[in-house]
């Protein structure tokens, strides 16, 4: 061993001990000719080294630079000038000998929390970026979450069972990465998008509580914060109903909170139907750290819900914008009634940005003196403004923001606006955590292009038990595209659940179909003929013939969960070697060309478009 | 939850309790019209159910078959006819109601330890095979090993850090699996053969103790018991020397022994140089559960060792077979001097099999009465036979077996013969575990075809510190192929180590090169020019510029380790969803063809050789 102690462990009680440390030179400070201070860094901390006059002379012959690897022996002394900011700040090592284990070129950026390195540079030299304390803390948090999840699941009787990575391509929605098989020319493996079917087979096999912390792969165009390979905490249970899964996995997340963040999440995890989430928050993963619920002033005649809007509050006022809009929604933003013209104009510009795409913004100021002031005073007298304000539960001093337009975009926009205003008001606190279960999702989504149904979650999700008959007994074909919402399938709810943390979906799952007949009906509903069903999922349909138990599960997005717990927006900060938005590892310079010999052996060739 | 208890937990103390169980029907025994016994099975055990006359009637309308999924409620009763073989054998459930949760077709083989299913059938229906207790025990053992390894490493301060799966193809020795990149047309990712370079980068980054239980991939022609995807316990440490690694990881294996098998492995783990292993056992992974060391009667003039043979014992006897052989080696097999002619003939046939490939077998019987009898009596009088026998440390009653031929094959054959005889004598006990470190491997192997050096372990392994100069200061080019053993590189030993368990290599690793100059020299020695070095490993050479610490590590073959601990020869029995010898998953029927659309998106096409 090159060291007797780490750079993070020596304290005043070690005073007088002879020690050997090894680590990286963080800083060198020479005080005249007689003394040199060196901060030596390793994974565990920083320790100050003191080089006396003689050793300072030796250093002149072998000068130390930043990031040099140094081994040093000396005695632990009490510091005269103590540093209360670091745990080793009371001591220093009076060096008696040292050895430079390796030199370092000048790093392309500073190895500090507030580095001067840009994103590209840091990714290219990721091995240096990983030395920064900020990144190290993220990876330590990731490991702590991993441990906490595993320990909880182990205690609950779950077994880690590894599922294969070289499987069969069955693209449904997302694209598979494929791997040519040399031993089976002309054939390809696929990398798993998730171990979904395998974990279901394990339930059929009787392993009743399975988990894995496992890499998954999706060949999708990368948006910010999507990675082609990502990690899931993947779980499945047999002989359970939805309620069992919800209890088990809120237990897991609470256990992670406790182990990793020291947070005792004692309160009951809230639950909300998908319909309520959409209606009250415009979003299926609402952030409930703050209130600011959506008031539905107007909804289209045919929509996902039969909840009642408040159209009476805005109708018959001659305001064409509202009259012609499909949907009108409002939120009341606390304490913003004093917004200046400049501020409301800026907000209007904000909702008109292409990412939001609204045509304008209506506001009502609920003034502290009890008066109302609106951008639509012309159409709505004060008592009407008051009625709207009351319906949003506004208080004096609040600012009501109203959006109007096509249903889907307007609903999404009010959700975005709600999040934006909460951000501006400091209501989205990194240190506050609010869990939520969103339940009762629709089983199917309507695909306009194909005039057909697609699975909202995945094809293995079961309908609510009381709707199985509806599903079995109806033809999935949509005769009248305009009235697809009247098709019996439109109202089938799934036995599915998402776990939402601070407005992010961190996990999702469902009770699965376990009957062959129902599974076949599902595949057929998604437009798969019998041959295709057997080719892609014959093994699963076969397995359902031999005593498949009722089962269900959930998968957590491990990267995302870590980033939220770490108070960051970016999952990349929590992955040791992430890829950029073009799916490239700029450090490795991968992907790359391969040798002619590899093409020959695999019996494939390129077919590049011009 | 579909159950209040599992099928493995009820005992006599639960007598009188109302319970609900769910599981699979193992057997149905109807006693006349009045009573039916059903054995209900789940992951945790088997519980006997008793159906009374009324319920037996109900069963007639809904007959139960093997592997039906049944939910049943009833009362725990004491059994009149107790079964001491199972933990639940003192009780049974007097059923009050039941529900068939799912039916089952008749399984294609019996779900029992001694199943009637052949290998192909069981792999096709792997989800049923996994129900068998024999397979379940293997996966449980695998999980226990996984837990034990993780817990030990965690306690020792190691961090699980995930490394990427989509990396760059840098084939060295084994072939990479490659993955076409849709977003970077014409370019490919590779799946990692191991996280080798990443874990080294993590050491450069300062993470000083890393581990991962991780899938690795090699596109090699599959021999029995090789899988294209396999799992490693992968570890790396910084600021360590070989001794530190040996101590740390024999600690890990001892901890696994204790946690998984309840074995306190108190003895010191033996160590042996590679040279001694080859000389005394004919093999670099000797099984030391038994002795039977090899006696070297003759060795070629130029060979890996300068140890002295015992040629005087066989020379000048006029026996051409020995005189013309490059190598003559012997073992003394305890207690087999009474072997009949038929038995020695059979052994002779055994060594002549193509897998062994020897031309014949010479034996000397050390009779109980002190006389000697040999197949070469004609050439060797009794005192010469005695001298040979004494040199092998034979006792009265032993049978000495002698092989002669070309060095490499003969040495391998005596090793195979030693293992075979030990097997016949019952000396290779499943329940006995003997660890061994094999050390001081040659750094290079000679590649006859290319007349060049290849890395015996991998190109990142460092030479012994005292041989670094030899490596730096000599030209790797081999001028005289016939005398390659005289090249200075032939005698360079590696800072590498293998852990051997019962004659199987379960882990291997090395202290790594951490200096750019030495790494470049190594790449050059392996025939890589500068351009190729930079293209393939530029990131690593770059990392070595910025303060790389001394480091080393090890990787354990997790599948193999589990199979040995489980007392099995086959790693496939310890993998939930293994592939067959053609790399196929016969259950999924993968690999398979992919869609035209996938080819188009990936911009590749097939190029099949007629």
CATH class of B290-428: alpha beta
CA–CA separation, B115 and B5 (whole Å): 28
Q: What is the mean pLDDT of residues B378-395?
A: 94
> Are B498 and B248 spatial neighbours (Cβ–Cβ below 8 Å)?
no
Closest partner CB to A189 (pick from B68, B69, B591): B591
Min Cα–Cα distance to chain B from A487, Å: 30
Measured CA to CA, the distance from residue A429 to residue B326 in angstroms comes to 79
Q: Kindly determine whether residue B604 and residue A609, on different chains, have CB atoms separated by under 8 Å.
A: no
Residue B112's contacts (CB-CB under 8 Å, 6 or more residues apart) are B132, B133
- Confidence label for A228 from pLDDT (cuts 50, 70 and 90): very high
Please report, in angstroms and rounded to a whole number, the separation of the first and last CA atoms in chain A. Answer: 58
Determine, for residues B191 and A165 on separate chains, whether the beta-carbon distance falls below 8 Å. yes
Q: Which residue has the tokens 């998968």?
A: A555
Contacts 24+ apart (CB under 8 A), B112-121: B120/B586
Answer yes or no: is pLDDT of A115 > 90: no
Give the three-class secondary structure for A415.
Answer: helix
Cα(B21)–Cα(B101) distance, integer angstroms: 12
CA distance B119 to B138: 17
Q: Within chain B, how many helices (H) and strands (E) appear?
A: 16, 23
Residues of A with CB below 8 A from B104's CB? 545-547
Give the tens place of pLDDT for each residue, B285-320.
Answer: 999 999 999 999 999 987 778 899 999 999 999 999
Report which DSSP code applies to A399: E
Q: What is the 3-state secondary structure (H, E, C) of A36-48?
A: EEEEEEECCEEEE
The residue-averaged pLDDT of B410-432 equals 96
Query: Among candidates A237, A276, A215, A286, which has minimal Cα distance to A509?
Result: A237
Contact across the interface for B603 and A606, Cβ inside 8 Å: yes
The band of B101, judged by pLDDT with boundaries at 50, 70 and 90, is very high
CB atoms within 10 A of CB B472: 12
Q: How far is CA A465 from the centre of its chain?
A: 31
pLDDT of residue A95: 97
H/E stretch holding A233 reads: strand A229-238
Rounded Cα distance between B127 and B124, Å, is 8
ipTM of the complex: 0.95
CA atoms within 13 A on the CB side of B243: 2
Confidence of residue B117 (pLDDT cuts 50, 70, 90): confident
pLDDT in tens, A321-365: 999 999 999 999 999 999 999 999 999 999 999 999 999 999 999
Q: What kind and span of H or E run contains B131?
A: none
Interface residue of B592, B599, B608, B610 to substitute, partner A, most A CBs within 10 Å: B592
How many A/B residue pairs have CB atoms within 8 Å? 364
* Residue that is written with structure tokens 């072997």 in the block: B339
CATH number listed for the domain at residues B138-266+556-571: 3.30.930.10
Element (H, E) at B348: helix B341-352
Does residue A571 surpass a pLDDT of 90? yes
CATH placement of domain B12-102: 2.40.50.140
Residue A172 has pLDDT above 80, yes or no: no
Which residues on adjacent β-strands are paired with residue B453?
A: B446
- The answer, yes or no, to whether the previous bond of A507 is cis (omega within 30 of 0) is no
Average pLDDT of chain A?
95
- Is residue A223 over pLDDT 80? no
Distance from CA of A107 to the nearest CA of B (A): 7
A308 vs B222: which has the higher pLDDT: A308
Alpha-carbon gap, residue A489 to B92, rounded angstroms:
45
From chain A, pick out residues whose CB is under 8 angstroms from the CB of B606.
185-186, 603-605
How far does A120 lie from chain B, in Å, by closest CA?
15
Q: At what angle are helices A341-352 and A407-424 packed, to 10 degrees?
A: 130
The answer to whether the Cβ–Cβ distance between B202 and A576 falls below 8 Å is: yes
What pLDDT score was predicted for residue B115? 81
In DSSP notation, A563-580 reads HHHTT-S-GGGGSSS---
Cα gap B3→B42, rounded to integer Å = 11
Please report the pLDDT score of residue A305 as a whole number.
83
Asked if the model's pLDDT at residue B225 lies above 80, the reply is no
Residue A208 has pLDDT above 90, yes or no: yes
The pLDDT value given to residue A222: 74
How far apart CA B75 and CA B71 sit, in angstroms, is 14
β-pairing verdict for B18-31 and B69-78: antiparallel
Q: Do B187 and A592 touch (CB under 8 A)?
A: yes
Radius of gyration of the CA atoms of chain B, in A: 30
Q: What share of chain B is helix, strand, coil (3-state, %, to 5)?
A: 30, 25, 40
Task: Determine contact, residues A508/A500, Cβ cutoff 8 Å.
Answer: no
Q: Report the distance separating Cα B61 and Cα B44, nearest Å.
A: 29
CA dist A211 to A207, A235, A359, A552, B578, Å? 10, 4, 48, 12, 18
Residue B222 has pLDDT above 80, yes or no: no
**pLDDT (mean) for B197-208:** 97
Judged by CB atoms closer than 8 Å, whether chains meet at A177 and B175 is answered as no
Element (H, E) at B253: helix B242-256
Nearest to A515 among B102, B139, B159 (CB): B102
How many percent of chain A have pLDDT more than 70? 100
- Give the tokens for residue B102: 């799912």
Q: Is the pTM of this model over 0.90?
A: yes
Q: Which residue of A has its CA nearest to B183?
A: A582
Q: Smallest CA–CA separation between A22 and chain B, in Å?
A: 7
Check residue A234 and give its pLDDT.
98
| Average confidence score pLDDT of chain B | 95
Q: Where are the domains of chain A?
A: 12-102, 138-266+556-571, 290-428, 442-493+515-546
Q: How far apart are CA A212 and CA B25, in angstroms?
A: 28
Do A2 and B150 make contact, defined as CB atoms within 8 angstroms? no
């Amino acid at each position: 061993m090159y060291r007797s102690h780490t750079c993070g462990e020596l304290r005043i009680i070690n005073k007088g001990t002879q020690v050997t440390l090894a680590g990286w030179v963080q800083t060198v400070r020479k005080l005249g000719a007689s003394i040199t201070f060196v901060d030596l860094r390793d994974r565990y901390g920083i320790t100050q080294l003191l080089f006396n006059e003689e050793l300072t002379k030796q250093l002149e012959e072998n000068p130390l630079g930043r990031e040099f690897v140094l081994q040093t022996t000396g005695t632990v002394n009490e510091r005269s000038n103590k540093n209360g900011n670091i745990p080793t700040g009371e001591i220093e090592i009076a060096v008696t000998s040292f050895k430079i284990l390796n030199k370092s070129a000048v790093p392309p950026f500073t190895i500090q929390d507030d580095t001067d390195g840009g994103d590209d540079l840091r990714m290219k030299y990721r091995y240096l970026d990983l030395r920064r304390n900020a990144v190290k803390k993220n990876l330590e948090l990731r490991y702590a979450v991993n441990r906490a999840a595993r320990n909880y699941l182990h205690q609950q009787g779950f077994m880690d069972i590894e599922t294969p990575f070289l499987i069969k391509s069955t693209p449904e929605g997302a694209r598979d990465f494929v791997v040519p098989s040399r031993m089976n020319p002309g054939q390809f493996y696929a990398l798993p998008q998730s171990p979904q079917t395998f974990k279901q087979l394990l339930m059929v096999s009787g392993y009743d509580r399975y988990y894995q912390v496992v890499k998954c792969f999706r060949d999708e165009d990368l948006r910010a914060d999507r990675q082609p390979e990502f990690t899931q905490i993947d779980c499945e249970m047999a002989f359970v109903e939805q309620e069992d899964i919800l209890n088990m996995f809120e237990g897991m997340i609470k256990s992670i909170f406790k182990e990793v963040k020291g947070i005792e999440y004692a309160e009951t995890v809230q639950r909300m139907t998908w319909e309520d989430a959409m209606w009250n928050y415009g979003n299926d993963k609402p952030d409930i750290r703050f209130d600011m619920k959506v008031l539905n002033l107007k909804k289209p005649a045919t929509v996902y819900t039969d909840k009642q809007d408040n159209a009476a509050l805005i109708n018959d006022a001659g305001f064409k914008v509202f009259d012609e809009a499909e949907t009108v929604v409002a939120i009341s933003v606390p304490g913003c009634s004093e917004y200046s013209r400049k501020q409301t104009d800026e907000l209007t510009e904000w909702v008109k940005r292409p990412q939001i795409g609204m045509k304008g913004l209506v506001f009502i100021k609920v003034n502290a003196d009890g008066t109302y002031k609106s951008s639509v005073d012309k159409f709505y007298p004060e008592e009407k403004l008051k009625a709207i304000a009351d319906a949003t539960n506004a208080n004096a001093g609040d600012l009501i923001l109203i959006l109007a337009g096509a249903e889907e975009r307007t609903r999404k926009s009010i959700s975005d606006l709600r999040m934006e205003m909460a951000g501006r008001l400091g209501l989205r606190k990194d240190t506050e955590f609010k869990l939520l279960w969103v339940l009762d999702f629709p089983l199917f989504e309507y695909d306009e292009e194909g005039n057909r149904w697609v699975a909202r979650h995945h094809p293995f999700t079961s309908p609510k038990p009381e709707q199985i008959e509806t599903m079995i007994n109806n033809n999935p074909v949509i005769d009248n595209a305009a009235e697809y919402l009247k098709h019996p399938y439109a109202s089938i709810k799934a036995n599915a659940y998402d776990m939402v943390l601070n407005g992010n979906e961190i996990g999702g799952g469902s009770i699965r179909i376990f009957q062959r007949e129902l599974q076949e009906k599902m595949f057929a509903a998604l437009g798969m003929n019998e041959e295709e069903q057997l080719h892609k999922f014959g093994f699963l349909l076969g397995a359902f013939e031999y005593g498949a138990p009722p089962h269900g599960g959930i998968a957590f997005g491990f990267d995302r969960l870590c980033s939220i717990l770490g108070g960051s927006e970016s999952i990349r900060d929590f992955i040791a070697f992430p890829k950029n938005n073009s799916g490239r590892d700029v450090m490795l310079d991968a992907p790359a060309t391969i040798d002619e010999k590899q093409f020959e052996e695999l019996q494939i060739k390129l077919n590049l478009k011009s």
